[in-house]
C-alpha cells in the first residue's frame, strides 16, 4: 500500500460515516425490494474473497434478525452461480433446478420455492448478490421489473463498497500507529471543527497527501 493510500484510509477513518449507517442503507434496500415484489424475503450477500464465502449483510422478512453474519460457500447454490457468472436469474421452481443448494437453505431455517437474484457489481468487481425469495407469482414478471431489481442491485453495490471502505478505515484507526493513527485522529477533529478551521485543516492535509504521494 502506498503512502497516499494509507493517508486516504486514515483520513476516511475519521471522516466517513460509521459502519452502522451503511448497514442501515443496505437494510432499506432489502426492505423496499421485498415490498415492491411482495416477497417473503430479500437478502444481500457480501463476498468475503479471502474465505471464499458469501456473508449475509442485510435480510428482510424470513430470517431477519437471525441470519446477519451467517456464511455460505461462494461457489455453491444459486447465489454462487450468480456471483461467478455475473448474470441475473429468475427461477420459479427451485426444486427443479440442480444449482439450488437445499442444504444451505435449510441451515437458514427457510427453504424458498422461487427466487430472483442479481449480482452486485461495482466497477470491475462483483461484491456480492441481491436475492428476492418467493415473490408474488400470480402475475407474469415483466422486463421492467427485472430492470428494477437490477437498479436496486446497483444501489446495493454502492452501499457495499461504502461498507467495505468504512471497515478498512476503522481497521486503520484500530491498528494504525505513528503517522497513520495521527492522520485518522486529524480526520475526526476536522469533522467536528467549524468551517474556517475545517478549510485550513483540509489545506494542510492536502499538502501532506501531496508529500506522501511524491515519496511513494
Task: Summarize pLDDT for 130-151 with one digit per residue, the tens.
Answer: 999 999 877 666 667 788 888 8
Task: Summarize pLDDT for 167-181 with one digit per residue, the tens.
Answer: 776 666 555 555 555
- Region 148-167: mean pLDDT is 84
Q: Give the model's pLDDT for residue 7.
A: 47
Higher local confidence (pLDDT), 116 or 176: 116
Neighbour tally for 158: CB within 10 Å? 16
Question: How far apart are the C-alpha atoms of 19 and 167, rounded to whole Å?
Answer: 7
- Region 57-62: mean pLDDT is 95
54, 79 contact by CB (below 8 A): yes
Does residue 54 register a pLDDT over 70? yes
In this prediction, what percent of the chain has a pLDDT beyond 70?
66
- Region 4-28: mean pLDDT is 63
Sorting pLDDT into bands at 50, 70 and 90, what band is 46? very high
Element (DSSP H or E) covering residue 133: strand 125-133
128, 45 contact by CB (below 8 A): yes
Torsion over CA: 139, 140, 146, 148 (sign): negative
Cell of 207: 499538502
Does residue 210 register a pLDDT over 80? no
131, 45 contact by CB (below 8 A): yes
Q: Give the model's pLDDT for residue 15.
A: 46
Q: Give the model's pLDDT for residue 63.
A: 92
Nearest C-alpha neighbor of 46 from the set 205, 164, 180, 208: 164
Rama region for 138: left / alpha / beta (φ>0; ψ in -120 to 50; rest): alpha
Q: Give the model's pLDDT for residue 101.
A: 93
> Is 19-166 assigned to CATH 3.30.70.1280?
no
Cell of 168: 478498512
Q: Give the model's pLDDT for residue 212.
A: 55
Q: Give the model's pLDDT for residue 185.
A: 52
Q: Give the model's pLDDT for residue 208.
A: 57
Sorting pLDDT into bands at 50, 70 and 90, what band is 47? very high
Query: Bridge partners of 126?
Result: 121
| Spans of all domains in the chain | 3-12+171-215, 19-166
* pTM above threshold 0.85: no
Cell of 74: 461462494
Phi, psi values for residue 126, rounded to 5°:
-95, 115
Amino acid at each position: 500500500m502506498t503512502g497516499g493510500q494509507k493517508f486516504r484510509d486514515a483520513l476516511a477513518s475519521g471522516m466517513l460515516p460509521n459502519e452502522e449507517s451503511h448497514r442501515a442503507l443496505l437494510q432499506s434496500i432489502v426492505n423496499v425490494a421485498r415490498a415492491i415484489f411482495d416477497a417473503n424475503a430479500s437478502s444481500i450477500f457480501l463476498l468475503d474473497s479471502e474465505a471464499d464465502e458469501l456473508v449475509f449483510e442485510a435480510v428482510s422478512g424470513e430470517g431477519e434478525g437471525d441470519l446477519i453474519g451467517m456464511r455460505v460457500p461462494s461457489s455453491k447454490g444459486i447465489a454462487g452461480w450468480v456471483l461467478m457468472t455475473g448474470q441475473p436469474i429468475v427461477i420459479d421452481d427451485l426444486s427443479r433446478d440442480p444449482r439450488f443448494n437445499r442444504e444451505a437453505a435449510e441451515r437458514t431455517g427457510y427453504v424458498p420455492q422461487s427466487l430472483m437474484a442479481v449480482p452486485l457489481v461495482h466497477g470491475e468487481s462483483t461484491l456480492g448478490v441481491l436475492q428476492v425469495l418467493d415473490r408474488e407469482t400470480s402475475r407474469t414478471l415483466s422486463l421492467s421489473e427485472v430492470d428494477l431489481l437490477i437498479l436496486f442491485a446497483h444501489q446495493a453495490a454502492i452501499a457495499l463498497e461504502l461498507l467495505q471502505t468504512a471497515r478498512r478505515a476503522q481497521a486503520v484507526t484500530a491498528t494504525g500507529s505513528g503517522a497513520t493513527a495521527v492522520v485518522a485522529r486529524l480526520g475526526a477533529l476536522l469533522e467536528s471543527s467549524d468551517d474556517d478551521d475545517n478549510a485550513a485543516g483540509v489545506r494542510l492535509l492536502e499538502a501532506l497527501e501531496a508529500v506522501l504521494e511524491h515519496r511513494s
